[in-house]
Structure 1
Amino acid sequence: MTTVEAIRSAAEQLRGQVIRTPLVRASRLSEQLGCDLFLKLENLQHTGSFKDRGAYIRLSKLSGDEARRGVIAMSAGNHAQGVAYHARRLGMPATIVMPEFAPFSKVERTRAFGARVVLTGDTLDASAHAAYRIAEDEGLTFVHPFDDEDVIAGQGTTGLEILEDCPDVETIVVPIGGGGLMSGIATVAKHANPAIEMVGVESEFFPSMRDALQGTATMTGGSTLADGIAVKVPGKLTKAIIERLVADIVVVAENMIEAAIHRLAEEQKLVVEGAGAAGVAAILAEPERFAGRKVACVICGGNIDLKLLSSILTRGLIRDGRVARLRIGIIDQPGVLARIASIIAKTGGNIIEVYHQRLFYDVPAKQAEVDVVLETRNAQHIEEVVARLKEHGFPVRILSDLSQQGTL
């Protein structure tokens, strides 16, 4: 079993090998959520996640023969990059098996670190089976992403840094996939102060650790924003540690993970992937649970696809009423578009795009529909724009309301 001494030894080994990431107070979120919130920014690691830590410790323990033959790992992206990055630094060949659904950006970055990438499997477990077969066929050393004492020790150094920077922390919130990060942090935190509350967080589609501890079977699988913690079978080593040291595992919905990504970008100016935002999602979902407490939350990764990030940020603006798409019925004649633009301008709305539709069969020949995308201040401002357009005889539908797709 991983010990505090092993984690302290790993911390010494990691000096100069990985970034000692900051623990920053999230002042705006603290005010909004009613707790004293600190964020451990593991998204600032060289490969964008905490996986750098455990990967280096595991690879540094290989024998000369094992290093010459090379290593193999299975990962949806973050462990892959950590292993590939440190394997190149240590001069050993690396093969990474990634599932077919792995984000393109993570695949390309893994290749950029010099690893051979094998894309196979529609789940992490299928990819793991393929990795074990290749390891046996080619004599490679398998580097497990979480169920390994050296990996757990490396991840646990995150907890040492949290305690150094915030020794009076009361609650530590950690996303859980296979459980390596939580296992390491919980080991050092509970040793330093048994009163520290450890709260794990899993995606609603992959509550594998909670199910394993409770003996339930609620996991549905599927596509999740938190692909970094989409693990079907948690580790045996990690399960034993988490069962002993973790107070609770919270399961968060996809919409809360999406909201957390958006809030972290807007309020704290942080780019965070779904798994990395899961801890904040748990606090957003149940702020009363953490109210008045000093809380450290691990932002475990920042490797999010830019197209996905763009979509999430835009959807967040729509939810907040700061971007709207209106469908306006008009008589197809000169000057009408200018009238609409003038009405919107007088309300303070800013038109971003206009789509003029007159050729579709469901629009009368002498009429047309105009879709207008505009920037607004808030939901009340949208209502004001719609009211002014209706006052001038224009029928209007809101196409961009993510909550109720309504008509005003």
Structure 2
Amino acid sequence: MDIIPTMFLCLATVLALVMNVFFIVVFIRRKRLRTPATLPVSMVLVHLAFVDLIATILWTLFAAITAVTDTWIISDVNSSLHKPFCDLQVYIMTFCNVITAHTLMALMFERFLWIFKPSKRQEIVFDLVVVLFLVALYIFNGSISSFVLWGFGQTDFFPDQYQCAVAYEESASHFQFTLAMHYWIPIAVIVPLYVAILIRVRILQKRRGPDGVIVLEENLKAVGDSYSDRLKEMYMKFRGAGAKSVKPKVKKTKKKTNDGFVSDDDDFNSSDEEKSKADEAVMSRDYMEKPERKRERKMYFLSRQDLREAHMYALISAVYFVLWTPYMTRNILYTYYYYDINISSEIVTTTVILTHFCSCVKVPFYLLSDRMRGAMKKTLCRGKVDDNKKRKFDAPHQEENMKREETTEL
């Protein structure tokens, strides 16, 4: 047993399992990730965590077991189960990595659409469309990854990789197809989209609105912006104002930074607030306002959180493809210069181990998002948060509770 490769493969397995399961738990526990504004993107991130778990259990875990036992799960090459198990591992490896690359491409396109045309993004990106997109993504990537099951590419077990893989030197066409779908096309889409976002934000910073905030778009066709609708909104705001502990503001002001970014809490589509019926009860126990119907906005402002999420997706994509670059380079050399190149087994093992860490590098980068960081922090410190909420709930009635205690003592 080789100690160092075994340690790294086991580490990659444990980290991927812990981090992705933790993120799914955070999604289930935190309501802020399931609001109408945050649910579409949150579903995509949960989908990535689910794909990483599949890759960890059916790909990385098999490689770790092989490294520990110094043998493939079915070592007998003549066994009838050797090739089906080998094909299955290659299929899982191809499917999980191709669908991850395409999902990262879709996330960057979502940021691009928000920066360039937020009104169109609001019309397109909602939960039903995201579900249909994910279903189509699973069907498409499941189909193109199944070519190896039909004989398009020969699989074999490679001891220096601790896994089964496609012998690309025997099928150059299969390697070209996989390289294009998994590597070149996603990079060719993600990089221009990110560069376009940076250029667009730089231009917008020089063209600020009247209040000094960065305006993404002014939607002149916004529904619900008529005089009657605004009058109704004002009426709903002041209805029952005497029963509220927090009085409504006559004029809504924009909180902005010196750079022109609107406050994250002030922007509807970038809202990071987590409201529930219990939180509303804290503000007023006697008055419960009915939720208003979400309507299209007339003005779209840029918050720092919107730009930070674009940086987060770009960084995740960069790390993901950097980890895959050595392995792809090795395959290119083996495919086209098989008889002229000789790479040591230690280098091959290192390139393979790097690819296994792709399943555990995404979740730490979610900390760059204020929304994700707050949700993770509240999940880890749930007891402390509940105590703070309880104190906040009892604060307006502290005097009443003290009188009640005195009466009881008497």
Pairwise same-fold verdict (TM > 0.5): no
- After TM superposition, the score normalised by the length of structure 2 is 0.22
- After TM superposition, the score normalised by the length of structure 1 is 0.22
Structure ID, larger Rg: 2
Q: Which has the higher contact order (CA 8 A, sep 6+)?
A: 2
Greater strand percent: which structure? 1
